[in-house]
Structure 1
Amino acid sequence: MNTSLKGLLLTGLLALGTALPAAAALKEGATAPDFSAQASLGGKPFTFSLKEALKKGPVVVYFYPSAYTGGCNVQARTFAVNKDKFAAAGASIIGVSLDSIERLNEFSADPEFCAGKFPTASDADGKIARSFDLTVKEARAGQKDSRGKDIDHGFAERTTFIVTPDGKIAATVGGLNPVENVNKSLEIVQKLKAG
């Protein structure tokens, strides 16, 4: 099997494995676990605090498998393109993955994806994802990203949580493709604003 075909098959398998519904994820009405994490915005690292972000309004906490992979690239780009609509609804966005902060510094600044529009946080040990009752899959040897670089970290399932300023989960969005995930999240924060 040639390398490009193997890469396509691997990408397809990754997409299938991460598109399953978030069966065990925290549900609407649950208290969102508070967390702080090393994050990056436009390539600049900082410490993200959910508690602090919630003081300004609802927070869209979206977990994704890995920077620089097919579906995650599409999802990041879709969030970036729609960032102003989320802001108009009073919501901020934070992406969370098991990527290292070094990978996220690149991804958060990449004009094709996050484009410096919203931060991404490093959950290198998967502790934050697990606190939201998400499944974390271990890294597998030989996995490559869309740039051909090795992926040496585990994967959280693609699930988005809309957290209201009181720390409660208003909605859990899982089991959708990356674009639908963003669109559904936007619809929810717009409804929250409308009251």
Structure 2
Amino acid sequence: MRKLLTALTLALVAAPVSAALKPGARAPNFVTIGAIGGKPFKLDLSEQLRHGPVVLYFYPKAFTSGCTLEAHAFSVAIPDFTKAGARVIGMSADNLETLKKFSVEACRNAFPVATADKKVIKAYDVAIPVVGLSNRTSYVIAKDGRIVMVHSEMDWKDHVTKSLAAVRALKR
């Protein structure tokens, strides 16, 4: 297991990160399953957008150090996102059982995480070649379904602040 995690970590660090979807593009709609507070739910992006902007952030693998730190950082900032009228949704290729646990332990019941299948990963152009996981990319999607901000960087540290700034800019 340790060798697999080491190989995965090396692949993630070496993988180029770039998102093809640019600001102004229409965000691809999808329906998938996810979890919040350990409870499963159906996630429909178009339904989420009816309530306001959405921060859709992709991460490689639940319970890896960077992904856990990023989820915690988003959970701490949820009151700020809520005040700005936005919802946060984490996306990964993890299965539902893993997401149920991650939604409680890392996301601290503050926001949902959902399964990004190969089709969603391809539609958002966030695939890490060969390993079948998504890279670390955050999209801010306006209520009208248009992407207003993209931050694609394997280091998790700026994803929350850049996403929150973009959401706040929408309110101005």
Alignment TM-score > 0.5, same fold? yes
The sequence identity of aligned pairs, in percent, is 39
Residue 48 (structure 2) aligns with: 53
Question: Would the alpha carbon gap of residues 95 and 8 (structure 1) be closer, same or farther in structure 2, given more than 3 Å must change?
Answer: closer
Structure 1: how far apart are the matches of 2:4 and 2:136?
A: 21
Who is 1:164 aligned against? 142
Q: In 2, Cα distance between the equivalents of 1:82 and 1:97?
A: 20
Deviations 1:32-58 (A, max 9, x none): 001111010011001011101111100
Corresponding residue of 2:107? 114
Residue 13 (structure 2) aligns with:
16
SS in 1 for 2:121: helix
Classify the secondary structure of the residue corresponding to 2:32. Answer: strand
Amino acid at match of 1:164: A
- Whether 1:65 and 2:60 are equivalent positions in the alignment is yes
Structure 1 gap ranges (5+): 140-153
Matched AA of 2:109: G
Residue matched to 2:87: 92
Greater fraction of residues in helix? 2
Could you list the per-position Cα deviations for residues 144-177 of structure 1 after superposition, in whole angstroms to 9, with x for gaps in the alignment? xxxxxxxxxx310110110011110011111262
Alignment of 1:135-146 (within 5 A): 135-139=127-131
Shift of 1:132: 1.1
Residue in structure 2 matched with residue 131 of structure 1 by the alignment:
123
Coordinate RMSD, CA, aligned: 1.9
- The match for 2:70 is 75
Letter in 2 for 1:121: A
Q: Alpha-carbon deviation of 1:83?
A: 0.7
Counterpart of 1:155 in 2: which secondary structure? coil
Instruction: Write the distance in 1 (CA, Å) between the matches of 2:57 and 2:164.
Output: 12
The residue identity in structure 2 corresponding to 1:132 is Y
| Bigger Cα Rg | 1
Tell me the residue number matched to 1:42. 37
Aligned residue for 2:47, secondary structure, equals helix
CA distance in 2, matches of 1:121, 1:137: 21
Instruction: Give the alignment's TM-score, normalised by structure 2.
Output: 0.91
The answer to whether the Cα contact below 8 Å between 1:64 and 1:97 also exists between their aligned partners in 2 is yes
Contact 1:63 1:160 in 2 (8 A): yes
Residue 23 of structure 2: aligned partner: 28
1:90-115 Cα shifts (integer Å, max 9, x gaps): 000111100001100110011xx101
Q: For this pair of structures, how many residues does the alignment match?
A: 172
Amino acid at match of 2:28: P
Hey, what's the Cα distance between the residues in 1 that align with 2:20 and 2:81?
23
Is the 2:151–2:159 contact (alpha carbons within 8 Å) kept by the matching residues of 1? yes
